[in-house]
Structure 1
C-alpha cells in the first residue's frame, strides 16, 4: 500500500489556475466516490480551499499515481501537462509529512493559521461519510490530528492569531486610517467572513452589512457583530454605502460585475472602494479592478501582510517541524509493527493448519487401537518435520544464492541464544 498526496497551492499556481481545479461543496461527494472507483485506489480524501486543492489517496502501488493524475485532468477538463506544471506529488513518508505540515499550518499562506486544520477535519469527515477513507489512510489522518494538537499545545504557532481574514482587514486599514467613519459589506457567511467581521468590529468599524444566499445565516453573523443582514439580490443597493467590500463564497460564478460596481460608484460620487476577493473561484470580476476609485485585491495580494506574520512565527514553526519529524517516525514505527503483525498472523494460521491436520491423523490412529505411546512419538516427529520443512528448504536456497542478508535475519529470528549456549556440541 502506497500513500499519495497530489495537489496545487498558492505557491505553485496563481488564483486563475486554482479556481479552475477547485472542487465546489456540491462536487465533493461525487468526486470522492468517482476517484475511489479508479483501479488501484483504495481510499481518498479531497481537501479544497481558496489556497489549495489536494488529493490524498491510498494506492495499491506507486505506479497507480498516474491514474489519479489522469482522473484529476478529466474531472476538471484541464490538460495533464498543465496539472503537472503547477502541482506537487508526494508518496509514502513524504506524503505523510506534507499532510502533517498542512494540518499544522506550516504550508499555509499565513504561517500557523488555525483554519486549515478545521478544513482538513471537514474534508476527512466528508470522506468518512462517503466511506472512502479507511485502513492506512484513516490511521494517517487520525495520527495527523494528534500531531497537530501537540503542535498547537507545545509551541507558540497559534499565538497572536493572524489569518487571511486578518490580513484583509490589515490591508484595508492602510487605505482607511479611521474605520469609525467606514462601512463594510461582507459577502458570504462562512468561517473566513466570520473572522473578517470580528476583526472589523474590533477595529471599530462604523457599520457592517452581511450579504449571503441564505439570509438566516447572514442574520446570525450580523447579530453577533452588531450589523445588518441582506440577501444577495440586495447587494447593488448595499454597494452604494460600502467603503470596504470583502467577499468569500462558494459561488461558481462571479457575484459582483463591473457594471454593478460602476453604478454604485456613480451614486457614491466616486468615493473610493476597497475590495478583497478571498474566494476561489473569484466572486468579483477581474474587470472591476480597472475602474477608477476601486482598489481590488485577491487572496494572492495579501502576501506582504502575511510575510510579516511568517517572520514572527518562524521560531515556533521550527519547533513544530521537530514535532512533525517525531510524528513521522512514530507513524512509520506503528506501520512497521502492523506489517509485522500481519506476517505473524499468517505464520500462526499456517502452523495451526499443520497442527490440526496432525491432531486429526493422531486421533484417527488412536481410534484404530494403535499404541498411544507410538502415536504420540510419530505425531511429534511428523509435526516437527512439517513445521521445519518449508523454512529449511528456503534457507538452503538462500545459502545457494549467497543471500547472506536472509541467513543473518533467519539466525536472529529463528535461533534462541539461550538454547545455543546449552548446545553440548
Structure 2
C-alpha cells in the first residue's frame, strides 16, 4: 500500500524481492558489481551526492544502509536523490547486516525488514521525502558550528602541516609531454559526466593532456576518451583504466609510504611516486603546473564546504593552497552543463535544414547549369514512367500523362 502526501509517495509496506543481494561497506566498490533489480546493502553514513548518483545509475530494487543515511552533521543530499528516483531506502539497520548476508543470496525486503524466508536478518526505517526533509532542516540548523570548525581546521593545517607552498617540493619526472598542451583534470565529483560531455568539442580541438584522478580515469574512458595520466592512491580506479596505457602517478604520504603501489605491482605495472600532503586532485594540478601546462581545466573537483564534508574531510587547506600556487592557469569547468543548455529544438533544426535545401534548389534553378541538371533528372523520371508502362502494360496515353504530370515539377525539363 502507498499513500499520497502532497508531491510525495510514501511507502507504508514496501515489498521487494526475493532479489539477489550485493553487500559492501564501500559504496563505490559495490556499484562496480551491482546489477539492476538487486538489493544493495551498504554501510555508508551520510550518503553523498556522487555515491547516490552511482547507486541510482545501477537501478537497484532497494538500498539497505547499515548506517544512518543522514546523521545530522550536515545537510547531505544523497538520500533524497535515491528516494526521488523511486528506490526504497531502508536506513540504520546496524553494522551486523554486512556480516549476516551472503553475497548473491536472495532475500526479501518488506516494510523495512530484510527477510531470509521468515527470519528477520535486519530491520530499519524506510526513508521518505518528508522524513528526509525534516532531517535536512535539522542538519542545516547546525551548519554554523560545522562551518566554524571547518574554517578553524583549515587555518590550523595551513599554519602547521602543509608543504604545498614549499619551494623545495619535489615534483617527480614524468614521461607525459605537457609542452604547449593544456591539461584537463577529471575527478568524479558533481556534474562531471555532464561537463565532460559539454567539453567534447574542446577536447577534440585542443587535444589536452587528459588526467584522471583515481575514478576520474574511468569517467574519461566512459566519455569515449583515453587518459594520458592517472593520479591518485589507485583505490577507486578500475583495472581497465590502469591497463589503458596511461602513465601512473601514485600519490604517496610525505614519508614515502604508498599503499597503492602494491596493487600496481600485482598488475605488473610501472608507476611514479609523488609524496606530498593534500588531496590527489591537488597534486594533479601541481604536477600539470610544474610541467608547463599553459592552462589547467578542472572537471568535478571539490571546492565547497558541502563537497568536502561529503568526502569526509574536515578542512580544505590543501585545495586553497593549491589554487594559490597554480594561480590564473586554473579554469574550473564545474557546472558548465548547468550554465549552458541547447536552446534550439530538433524541430527547429529540421525546419532550418529544409529551408536551406529549398534555397539551394531555387538558386540552382536560376542558372543554366542547374536547369541542365534538373532536365537530366526529369529525363530519369520519364524513363521510370515508361518502365512502369512496360511492366504493368499501361497504355502509351497513360504513360504520357504520368510523364507530363512530373514535368512541371522540375524546372528546365529537357524535351524527349
> TM-score by structure 2 length?
0.31
More strand, by proportion: 2
Higher relative contact order (CA 8 A, sep 6+): 1
The structure whose residues are more often helix, as a share, is 1
